[in-house]
Amino acid sequence: MQKGFTLWFTGLSGAGKSTLAEHVAAELRRRGLNVEILDGDEVRTNLSKGLGFSKEDRDTNIKRIGYVCKLLTRNGVVAISAAISPYREVRDHNRAEIGQFIEVYVTCSIEALTRRDVKGLYKKALAGEVKNFTGISDPYEPPLNPEITVDSERQSEAESLRAILEYLERHGWIPHDPSRAEAAQRRV
- Strands ordered across the beta sheet of 5-10: 35-39, 78-82, 5-10, 101-107, 148-151
Catalytic annotation on 48? Answer: no
| Domain limits for position 87 | 5-187
What percent of the chain has a predicted confidence (pLDDT) above 90? 71
Asked whether residue 49 carries a pLDDT value surpassing 70, the answer given is no
* Secondary-structure breakdown of the chain: helix, strand, coil percentages, each rounded to the nearest 5: 45, 15, 35
Query: What DSSP string runs through 54-66?
Result: SHHHHHHHHHHHH
Asked whether residue 110 carries a pLDDT value surpassing 90, the answer given is yes
Asked whether residue 55 carries a pLDDT value surpassing 90, the answer given is no
What percent of the chain has a predicted confidence (pLDDT) above 70? 89
Output the domain CATH number for residue 105.
Answer: 3.40.50.300
182 pLDDT band, cuts 50/70/90, is very low
Q: Domain count of the chain? A: 1
Say what the alpha-carbon torsion angle 145, 151, 154, 158 is, to the nearest 10 degrees: 120
Catalytic residue among 85, 109, 137, 179: 85
The pLDDT, as a whole number, for residue 58 is 86
**β-strand pairing of 78-82 with 101-107:** unpaired
pTM of the model: 0.89
For the segment 153-181, the average pLDDT, to the nearest whole number, is 90
**β-strand pairing of 5-10 with 35-39:** unpaired
For the segment 157-181, the average pLDDT, to the nearest whole number, is 89
